[in-house]
Structure 1
């Protein structure tokens, strides 16, 4: 599936001036597979990548790409596919779009430019129940395939010193309370759903777990103060989180303590992808790290382009980068 002092994608999402006052159709670009792409996902039959100016491209062979019809020009930051009739993407302006025809055309489900918040990840349990997360604690849930999205405020992440103040404000001045909670939470960058356990990572060292499908959350004690941009499960069942300045940590499913992974390079890590018996970590400066559960080996792409996401399709790793889509390696 699937950043200022953040990784490349979040940086674009928070500082870009591509916000539009009303939805406009995505720009048709001459080389749609060589623009900025922020996320990519695949099924056995298809790949979908999203990025700049509302660009969405699809491919059935991983080599030839077709640009889809998309009703927005907002920067898209995440995409997820559940089936050929159920795919979603999200991005700037709290935009959420949906496709029911193999990604050929997309329909607008949500567009809230007045909020000034980008959606940074979108995930679905099934074709009905999904979550969209983003800047300043953005957290939306749908139970009807995205026809309606309900905003939720995750009070579990409010600093203890602020909880009493917010409760009093909510009772005394509901309007002021709504204004206060708009920006009080950290950015939520990535959501991992594994059976009944959800993991959420974000700004200021946020790593949290939910054991009731997102109803309540428990924060792990801080083990790193910087931002995390990705979380995934390794082939041997560890939870791996990574982010700013090449920092990465793992823990077993039964343990609450994260151990640091020794990575020599300090390029920010944007994405994590299980790969055969190891796990790949994709970073700025074209760096790809392979973690076998014990140690890391690294390789750098000749282009040096920031890698923002990756997927495996037809035994190949296809990467979404700041300058297009790149096929790398062979998973045979």
Structure 2
């Protein structure tokens, strides 16, 4: 009997084509509706409860989702990573991610997965361009613009809404973005990994809904810093010449300015500024060191990619 049950479970897994992964942290007020609205469009919903202290897990399970509880709050990146691994175990060919706060309209899922099932893209981003219920605040819009600009500086093909959590992935894309880091910068990090891997990323216009229950669980400044820190971390390892080169040029430029100012002042007044002269020398020395690091890291990075 147990063998038959194991066989039935294996067959059930192989039949799963579309899977939704929803990271959730204290979203008991909205998660039930999100799960119920998503169910008609996918074969299975995986809610990853990121250490919630409310009834998020119980409500998700009652609504029909499979729940994975992390036990403690480990961040959105960790929650998505666990959900992706489970979706891969189920053999899902298309994976959709959406937020648990109800800001995404589940009715857009067919539009998000259509390009992937047609083989036209490996990643589809739901770009929040259509007006839905409520409007985002000015601070949210300004912060989104800043993060979009910072992320697009690292991408060959710009994406309009780099911070949207409403996305779909092919199985091949999931293998590229599966090793994501913990934190709120996961949206930018996934796009950067996909861009480096040469995957096709397309966008679909979606509605955005904001209401009293759709408040972010993370402070906007903390969120922005997490995203920027993630972007810099990825650039440092994947494009060291750019990262360390910018630091080197900034230091060399500052050293040159301090040195020129010291020299011109001495030429005009015969008064020497030892402090500014030492600062100039220090900036120049450190700038040369960072330039050397940039060249060495870039050489080793290229060598590793060729192996």
TM range, normalised to the smaller chain? under 0.3
Instruction: Give the number of the structure with larger relative contact order, counting CA–CA contacts within 8 Å between residues 6 or more apart.
Output: 2
Greater helix proportion: 2
State the TM-score, normalized to the length of structure 1: 0.24
TM-score, normalised relative to structure 2: 0.25
